[in-house]
Amino acid sequence: MKIKLAYGQQGLDIDLPDTRTTVIEPRHVAGVADEKSALLHALERPVAAAPLRQWLKPGGRVCVVFTDITRATPNHRIIPWLLDYLEQAGVARAAITLVNALGTHRPNTREELQRMLTPAVVDRYRVINHEPENETALAAVAKMPDGTPLLINREVLQADTRILTGFIEPHFFAGFSGGPKAILPGVAGLRSVIANHRAANIAHPLATFGVTQGNPLWEEMKAAALAVGPSFLINVALNHERQITGVFAGDVIAAHRQGCAFVRDSAMCRVAAPFDVVVTTNSGYPLDLNLYQGVKGMSAGARILKPGGLLVVACECREGIPAGSPCEKLLTGSPSPDALLRKICTPGFSYAEQWQVQIQAMIQSKVRVVLRSSLSDAAVKAVHLSPCPDIAGAVMDELEACGPQSRVAVLPDGPLTIPYLA
């Protein structure tokens, strides 16, 4: 069985035995016939909210929040359409600011912003990167459950109209992406993100794919979005070809809930029993730019793997871990995944990006993980993983060791499909 894995921009071909391989992919949903018309229709007939044009105030400032380069949102399509809509509704270009919702990720370069939004948008509008560590660019709007100030980007807070854009997919600890995540972590301060992503929340049994209600991370994200004040949501659902399959606009919570139900139906797949081997990806470029993002695909595959089984992760990592990041420093600063878990779960410990490291270590406490990437073997080993130059060879060796009844599952699109055990 020949399978093409989403890996970088070119993909990766592997060949596995037909009789022992199960391929798990999202149920195909056709793209809408006219994406722009679908978006404009949703703006005029939103969920539990007035049409967007009624949110616009004469002479008022508009802030459009958009997702960064690590997300698959088709910003280059939906943002120009939205901006055209705003201008036709009488909003001056000078009154519009676009904020890149980086969360705690690195800022995107001008060239990247041009690819994401189109050169015309970057040239004609004010586009800024969120600055999570610059507290002069933030303001406190509330207290979080642990007492940490909820710090939010001032540009977002001071706008007369806030528009939150993004796309919805199952998320490995927030339940689903989109919705209130545009505020926290999207445009929140680093201290607030660390508080939300603290070890106790990450370890909670409901902090997982497909769960929002009762998920402590999502509940805090919801509270943060409501504390900021009214915002108009524009979220899309996508298929494998990155075509828009649905547009969910209006109230941040109600429209997101509707979008999550739509996505759950196509993206979550029930399987009868765990597998001996699972091969997963992180959905290819740009989602597999680094290992930090790759933990999402790792988490998706681990859900259906037998204890002690082999998890093969194909994640290009052209930007490294990334190099010099808090994630890399934390991973390389401890001798083992067990030591990492002990450190992260120590009361009072707080470190940027600890959540991704915690999830990787939690997975490694249950299964073995090997990585196919562009990283050097030394770099892979330094972050407590084993390099895997030959995916098919590694799978066949493991199947042979496990016996004739052993089976392998493949998630060619990684966390675009979330399997779960019956």
How far apart, in Å, are the Cα atoms of 304 and each of 5, 254, 278, 279, 380? 18, 31, 8, 11, 24
> Are the C-beta atoms of 140 and 150 separated by less than 8 Å?
yes
- Section 103-107 average pLDDT: 94
Q: Is the pLDDT of residue 41 over 90?
A: yes
pLDDT of residue 241: 87
Buried b (16+ CB within 10 A) or exposed e, 339-366: ebbebbeeeeeebbbbbbbbbbbbbbee
Average pLDDT, the chain: 96
Q: Is the pLDDT of residue 228 over 90?
A: yes
Cα torsion angle, 269, 5, 363, 196, sign: negative
Walk across the sheet containing 244-251 and list its strands. Answer: 126-129, 96-101, 62-67, 161-167, 232-238, 244-251
- Cis peptide bond prior to 326, omega within 30° of 0: no
Report the distance separating Cα 311 and Cα 189, nearest Å: 34
> Are the C-beta atoms of 188 and 147 separated by less than 8 Å?
no
Predicted confidence band of residue 377 (pLDDT cuts 50, 70, 90): very high
- Section 15-19 average pLDDT: 97
| Residue pointed to by tokens 């016996």 | 403
Token readout for 415 is: 């966390």
Task: Phi first, then psi: give them for residue 15, nearest 5 degrees.
Answer: -130, 120
pLDDT of residue 135: 92
Contacts of 157 (CB under 8 A, 6+ apart): 139, 141, 228, 229
- Section 97-123 average pLDDT: 97
Report the distance separating Cα 322 and Cα 324, nearest Å: 6
pTM: 0.91
Give the CATH number of domain 2-26+272-421: 3.90.226.30
Q: Which fold has domain 35-266?
A: Rossmann fold (3.40.50)
Q: Is the pLDDT of residue 416 over 90?
A: no
pLDDT per residue over 325-349, tens digit each?
Answer: 999 999 999 999 999 999 999 998 9
- Section 363-392 average pLDDT: 98
Give percent of the chain above pLDDT 70.
Answer: 100
Buried b (16+ CB within 10 A) or exposed e, 50-86: ebbeebbeeeebbbbbbbbbbbbbbbebbbebbbebb
| Residue pointed to by tokens 């967007």 | 52
pLDDT of residue 240: 84
Q: Is the pLDDT of residue 27 over 90?
A: no
Q: Is the pLDDT of residue 315 over 90?
A: yes
Of 48-52, 111-115, 350-354, the range with the lowest mean pLDDT is: 350-354
> Are the C-beta atoms of 339 and 358 separated by less than 8 Å?
no
- Section 227-247 average pLDDT: 96
Report the distance separating Cα 179 and Cα 226, nearest Å: 11
Report the distance separating Cα 341 and Cα 369, nearest Å: 16
| Torsion angle (degrees, nearest 10) of CA 40, 42, 46, 47 | -170
Task: Phi first, then psi: give them for residue 275, nearest 5 degrees.
Answer: -105, 160
DSSP 3-state of 59: coil
Report the distance separating Cα 137 and Cα 130, nearest Å: 9
pLDDT of residue 286: 87
- Section 93-104 average pLDDT: 97
- Section 168-185 average pLDDT: 97
Q: Which residue has the higher pLDDT, 97 or 350?
A: 97
Residue 64: closest CA among 168, 177, 150, 160: 160
Rg over CA atoms, the chain = 21
pLDDT of residue 154: 98
pLDDT of residue 327: 95
Q: Does an H or E element contain 253, and which? A: helix 252-267
Report the distance separating Cα 55 and Cα 231, nearest Å: 9
How far apart, in Å, are the Cα atoms of 389 and each of 5, 14, 302, 303? 14, 12, 20, 24
Q: Do domains 2-26+272-421 and 35-266 have the same CATH topology?
A: no
- Section 114-127 average pLDDT: 98
- Section 50-56 average pLDDT: 98
Token readout for 157 is: 């807070």
Helix pair 35-44, 75-88: axis angle to 10 deg: 50
Q: Is the pLDDT of residue 384 over 90?
A: yes
Predicted confidence band of residue 26 (pLDDT cuts 50, 70, 90): confident
- Domain extents in the chain: 2-26+272-421, 35-266
pLDDT of residue 332: 96
Residue 246: closest CA among 254, 255, 237: 237
pLDDT of residue 404: 96
